């Protein structure tokens, strides 16, 4: 199964991430977000960060997930390419917990080709058929 595909967009970065499970789709959202910025094949797994997020709606959880990834990139100068998450649902909504792995950015090694400023709610959707699809538009 393809992990994600980028869609044509005039000004920003838009993609659909896929997964056999909702967790795999969220992990591929993370990978596509960093792939929009740089070549994720050149990221070594040297730093590990634990993440816990909560939201009432699954689309809100996608937004919170992307906001946290972009914040960690901007505040700590870390780029990521491995995501391992678990998503649970309870009476309060959805909870994401897991870890992300990457390394401190090295401008000689990691050539940034697009700066991602923030996720958006515009066109954000989560669909389930035979597999999960998460559509995202990133403000670049």
CATH number at 114 reads 3.55.10.10
Tell me how many helices (H) and strands (E) the chain has: 2, 8
How many domains, in total, are found in the chain? 1
List residues forming the annotated binding site for Ca(2+). Answer: 12, 139-140
Domain extent at residue 108: 4-139
List residues forming the annotated binding site. Answer: 12, 139-140
Residues of the chain with pLDDT > 70, as a percent, come to 100
At residue 72, the 3 state secondary structure works out as: helix
Q: What are the two backbone dihedrals, phi and then psi, of residue 43, each rounded to the nearest 5 degrees?
A: -100, 125
pLDDT value at residue 135: 97
Average pLDDT value for the chain:
95
């Amino acid at each position: 199964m393809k992990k994600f595909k980028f869609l044509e967009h005039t000004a920003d970065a838009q993609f659909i991430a896929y997964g056999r499970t909702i967790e795999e789709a969220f992990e591929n959202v993370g990978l596509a977000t960093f792939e929009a910025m740089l070549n994720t094949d050149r990221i070594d797994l040297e730093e590990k960060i634990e993440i816990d997020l909560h939201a009432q709606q699954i689309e809100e959880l996608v937004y919170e997930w992307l906001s946290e990834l972009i914040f960690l990139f901007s505040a700590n100068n870390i780029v990521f390419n491995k995501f391992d998450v678990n998503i649970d649902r309870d009476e309060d909504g959805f909870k994401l917990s897991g870890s992300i792995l990457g390394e401190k950015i090295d401008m000689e090694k990691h050539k940034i080709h697009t700066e991602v400023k923030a996720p958006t709610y515009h066109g954000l959707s989560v669909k389930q058929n035979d597999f999960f699809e998460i559509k995202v538009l990133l403000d670049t």
